[in-house]
C-alpha cells in the first residue's frame, strides 16, 4: 500500500465516541498513582527490612524495576492526560521526571518534537532509542543492570550533567527555544544537586541505602521498562508519516500493562495523543481493523525485532514488512 508522506495518516473514528475517549479523569490519575507508589514503598520497605541478606537483592531488583516504570508516569503527566487537573499533571510530572532521569524542560520539548517527527532522520527524532545502523552491543546492554556505567557518555545522566554545566547540546539547539534554555540548565542543576546530596548522605552515614533507593535505580532497575519501551519503534520504518508503519502496538499482561500505563497501545497513542492512556484500549478496539495486527506479548514483539535489528546492523534500509488493512 502506498502512503502519502505529505500528511499524517489518521484512522477513522466516530466523532462522538472519540469525544468520550478524550475525557480526562482525576480519579483515574490518583488511582494509578496510589497503587504505583504504594507498590514502590512496599517493596522498598522489604528491601530495607531484609538488608544484609540475599532477599534484599531480590526486593531491590523489584523496587528498582517499579521505579524504572516511572517512565510511564512521566509520559502520561507530560501529555497532561493523567489527570483532568493541570496542577496535578505538572506536580507528578516533575516528580516522575526526576525518578526517570528525564530533565523536565528538555523532555517536554523533545517529546513534542518526537510526536511531530516520529522516527524521522531529518529533522532527527532524538527519542528514537535504536539508531540505524544498529549498534547491537548498545541495544542488548539496555537490559543488563548497571550497564549504564559502561556507556555513561551515552546516558541521560551525562546529558543532564552537561546541561547543568551550561553546555548547549544538539537536542537543546533543535528542540528548546532559546528563552527556555536557562530553565533547562537550572532544572538539570537541581537534579545534580539531589544526586550529590544523596551520595553525601551515603558517605556520611557509611551506608549504600540512600544511593540504592534514590540514585542507582536508573542503573539497576531499567530492564523491565526497556523491554516494554523498545517495542515502540524498533525495526520499523522511518521517515514516513504513517504511525502504522513506524510504531508498534503490543498486548501485555495486566501487571505489565499497569506499570506501563497502557502505553503498549502505541500506534493508538501516536495517532491520537490527546486520548488518556486509560482509554487507549477502548480506542484500540475501535480502530484495530485499520491497523496492523498487535503483537502478542513481549515475545511476539521481540521475535520480529531482534532478527530485524541484526539485519539493520548490516543494511540500515531494511525494515520489517507489514500488512496494512486497506
pLDDT at residue number 123: 86
Beta bridge partner(s), residue 296: 251
Confidence of residue 159 (pLDDT cuts 50, 70, 90): very high
| 75-110 pLDDT per residue, tens | 999 999 999 999 999 999 999 999 999 999 999 999
Confidence of residue 4 (pLDDT cuts 50, 70, 90): very low
Spell out the residues 6+ positions from residue 292 whose beta carbon is closer than 8 angstroms to its own. Answer: 244, 267, 322, 323, 324, 325
**Helix and strand totals (H; E) in the chain:** 19, 2
The answer to the question of residue 324 being in a domain is: no
The answer to the question of residue 227 being in a domain is: yes
pLDDT at residue number 146: 92
Q: In Å, what is the CA distance from 81 to each residue of 24, 45, 61, 273, 280?
A: 6, 30, 29, 9, 12
Query: Is the pTM above the cut of 0.85?
Result: yes
Q: How far apart are CA 224 and CA 305, in angstroms?
A: 16
What is the average pLDDT across 11-17?
94
The answer to the question of residue 319 being in a domain is: no
The answer to the question of residue 326 being in a domain is: no
Instruction: Please state whether the peptide bond connecting residue 319 to the residue before it is cis, i.e. omega within 30 degrees of 0.
Output: no
The answer to whether 133 and 312 have CB atoms below 8 angstroms apart is yes
The total number of structural domains that make up the chain: 1
pLDDT at residue number 6: 55
The answer to the question of residue 5 being in a domain is: no
Q: How far apart are CA 69 and CA 55, in angstroms?
A: 22
User: Hey, what's the cell of 43?
Assistant: 517493596
**C-alpha atoms less than 13 angstroms from C-alpha of 46 in its C-beta half-sphere:** 15
Domain containing 276 equals 15-314
Q: In Å, what is the CA distance from 264 to each residue of 3, 215, 231, 254?
A: 24, 27, 8, 11
21-30, 60-69, 230-239 — which is least confidently predicted? 230-239
The answer to whether 36 and 45 have CB atoms below 8 angstroms apart is no
Share of the chain above pLDDT 70, in %: 98
| 240-277 pLDDT per residue, tens | 999 999 999 999 999 999 999 999 999 999 999 999 99
The answer to whether 309 and 136 have CB atoms below 8 angstroms apart is yes
Residue 1 pLDDT exceeds 80: no
User: Hey, what's the cell of 22?
Assistant: 478524550
User: Hey, what's the cell of 197?
Assistant: 546530596
The answer to the question of residue 10 being in a domain is: no
| 110-132 pLDDT per residue, tens | 999 999 999 998 889 998 877 77
Q: Return phi, psi of residue 250, to 5°.
A: -130, 140
The answer to the question of residue 125 being in a domain is: yes
Amino acid at each position: 500500500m502506498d502512503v502519502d508522506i505529505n500528511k499524517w495518516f489518521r484512522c477513522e473514528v466516530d466523532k462522538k465516541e472519540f469525544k468520550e475517549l478524550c475525557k480526562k479523569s482525576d480519579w483515574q490519575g490518583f488511582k494509578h498513582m496510589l497503587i504505583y507508589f504504594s507498590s514502590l514503598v512496599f517493596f522498598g520497605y522489604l528491601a530495607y527490612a531484609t538488608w544484609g541478606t540475599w532477599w534484599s537483592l531480590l526486593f531491590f531488583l523489584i523496587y528498582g524495576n517499579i521505579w524504572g516504570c516511572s517512565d510511564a508516569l512521566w509520559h502520561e503527566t507530560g501529555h497532561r492526560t493523567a489527570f483532568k487537573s493541570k496542577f496535578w499533571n505538572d506536580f507528578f510530572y516533575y516528580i516522575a521526571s526526576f525518578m526517570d532521569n528525564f530533565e523536565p524542560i528538555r523532555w517536554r520539548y523533545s517529546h513534542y518534537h518526537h510526536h511531530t517527527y516520529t522516527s524521522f532522520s531529518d529533522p532527527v527524532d532524538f527519542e528514537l532509542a535504536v539508531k540505524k545502523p544498529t549498534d547491537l552491543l548498545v541495544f542488548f546492554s539496555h537490559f543488563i543492570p548497571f550497564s549504564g556505567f559502561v556507556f555513561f557518555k551515552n546516558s541521560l545522566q551525562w546529558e543532564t550533567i552537561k546541561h547543568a554545566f551550561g553546555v548547549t547540546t544538539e537536542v537543546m539547539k533543535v528542540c528548546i527555544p532559546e528563552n527556555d534554555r536557562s530553565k533547562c540548565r537550572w532544572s538539570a542543576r537541581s537534579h545534580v544537586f539531589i544526586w550529590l546530596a544523596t551520595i553525601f548522605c551515603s558517605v556520611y552515614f557509611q551506608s549504600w541505602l540512600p544511593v540504592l533507593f534514590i540514585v542507582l535505580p536508573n542503573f539497576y532497575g531499567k530492564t523491565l521498562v526497556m523491554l516494554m519501551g523498545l517495542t515502540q519503534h524498533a525495526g520499523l520504518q522511518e521517515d514516513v508519516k504513517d504511525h502504522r508503519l513506524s510504531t508498534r502496538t503490543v498486548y501485555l499482561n495486566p501487571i505489565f500493562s499497569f506499570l506501563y500505563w497502557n502505553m503498549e497501545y502505541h500506534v493508538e497513542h501516536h495517532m491520537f495523543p490527546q486520548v488518556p492512556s486509560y482509554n487507549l484500549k477502548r480506542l484500540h478496539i475501535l480502530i484495530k481493523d485499520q491497523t496492523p495486527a498487535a503483537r502478542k506479548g513481549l515475545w511476539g514483539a521481540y521475535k520480529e525485532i531482534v532478527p530485524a535489528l541484526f539485519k539493520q546492523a548490516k543494511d540500515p534500509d531494511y525494515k520489517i514488512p507489514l500488512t496494512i488493512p486497506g
